[in-house]
């Protein structure tokens, strides 16, 4: 077969299975929230989705690391794909900010003509939210350092800083869980509760996904999957994590600080 400057996707059952499984998981979640049904079906669907995702990523890692199918031209296409994916995620969060600004800049009579809504006690931005901001900014610095050491061939330093980044991500999630437990309002408490928990909750999910992404990169680095010139998987994880950092800055400034 002649060499071609683009990626030929190998036959795989995982994309179509992942599509069906994501639908099943979303459908089961909605059914669980709206009806008094057992959560066993949701857990089963979640396990199946994790297994399908793991199998798909395993195949991609194999074709990249061992089969040499991710050439320079292919990586250029993958970079464009990740950029477009992150762009779609930006617009995903814009929808939450739009709802927040629409309600907070001109609160109507149904919420007491005040923001936060009447009866809502917002969080102190100088407590856990400020701590989480420091944690995420620090994780961005350590991840940038890890990338620098990877490019200069200092593998041990890269692994150490990457492990610190993962630890900071886990610490952030723990603090956010504590914050949710201490909340005096819920997602059902007016538009403030809805926008707050939707925006911060989906960001928290992104932090968990990013932490898993970085953990996979750490394990791959330990098994010598990356080199100073061939490590797009690491770069994609770093781009995603920096995106999560920037979104949190907007959340902290507008929702926790200015919107309190």
Give the C-alpha separation, 111 to 189, whole Å.
10
Give the C-alpha separation, 190 to 188, whole Å.
6
Give me the residue spans of the domains in the chain.
1-69, 74-257
71 Ramachandran zone, left/alpha/beta (phi>0; psi -120 to 50): beta
- Which one is predicted more confidently, 228 or 252? 252
Give the C-alpha separation, 199 to 177, whole Å.
14
> With bands split at pLDDT 50, 70 and 90, how would you rate the model's confidence at 3?
low
Nearest CA-CA partner of 216 in 44, 61, 101, 2:
61
Give the C-alpha separation, 175 to 190, whole Å.
24
Both tokens of residue 30?
Answer: 């909605």
Determine the average pLDDT of the residues in 157-174.
96
Q: What angle do CA 110, 116, 118 make, to 5 degrees?
A: 50
Spatial neighbors of 201 by CB under 8 A, at least 6 apart, are 187
Q: Give Dmax over CA atoms of the chain in angstroms.
A: 70
Give, in words, the CATH class of 1-69: mainly alpha
Give the C-alpha separation, 21 to 18, whole Å.
5
Both tokens of residue 198?
Answer: 């939707």
What percent of the chain is modeled with pLDDT above 70?
A: 95
Give the C-alpha separation, 112 to 54, whole Å.
48
| pLDDT at residue 1 is higher than 50 | no
Give the C-alpha separation, 237 to 212, whole Å.
9
pTM (2 decimals)? 0.89
Residue 188 backbone phi and psi in degrees, to 5: -90, 0
Both tokens of residue 174?
Answer: 């723990």
Sign of CA dihedral 122, 125, 126, 128: positive
| pLDDT at residue 2 is higher than 60 | no
> With bands split at pLDDT 50, 70 and 90, how would you rate the model's confidence at 5?
low
- Topology of domain 74-257, per CATH? 1.20.120
- pLDDT, tens digit, for every residue of 196-217? 999 999 999 999 999 999 999 9
């Amino acid at each position: 077969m002649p060499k071609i400057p683009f990626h030929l996707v190998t036959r795989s059952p995982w994309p179509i299975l992942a599509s069906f499984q994501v639908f099943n998981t979303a459908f089961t979640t909605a059914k669980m929230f709206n009806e008094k049904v057992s959560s066993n079906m949701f857990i089963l669907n979640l396990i199946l989705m994790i297994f399908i995702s793991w199998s798909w990523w395993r195949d991609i890692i194999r074709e990249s690391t061992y089969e040499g199918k991710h050439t320079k031209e292919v990586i250029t296409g993958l970079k464009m794909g990740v950029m477009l994916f992150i762009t779609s995620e930006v617009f995903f969060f814009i929808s939450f900010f739009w709802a927040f600004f629409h309600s907070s800049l001109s609160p109507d009579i149904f919420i007491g003509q005040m923001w936060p809504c009447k009866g809502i006690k917002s969080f102190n931005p100088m407590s856990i939210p400020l701590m989480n901001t420091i944690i995420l900014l620090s994780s961005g610095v350590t991840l940038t350092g890890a990338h620098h050491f990877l490019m200069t061939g200092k593998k041990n330093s890269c692994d150490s800083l990457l492990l610190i980044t993962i630890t900071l991500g886990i610490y952030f999630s723990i603090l956010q869980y504590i914050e949710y437990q201490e909340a005096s309002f819920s997602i059902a408490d007016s538009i403030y509760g809805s926008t707050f928990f939707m925006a911060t909750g989906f960001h928290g999910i992104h932090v968990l996904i990013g932490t898993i992404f970085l953990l996979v990169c750490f394990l791959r680095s330990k098994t010598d999957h990356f080199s100073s010139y061939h490590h797009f998987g690491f770069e994609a994880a770093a781009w995603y994590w920096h995106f999560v950092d920037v979104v949190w800055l907007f959340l902290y400034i507008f929702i926790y600080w200015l919107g309190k």
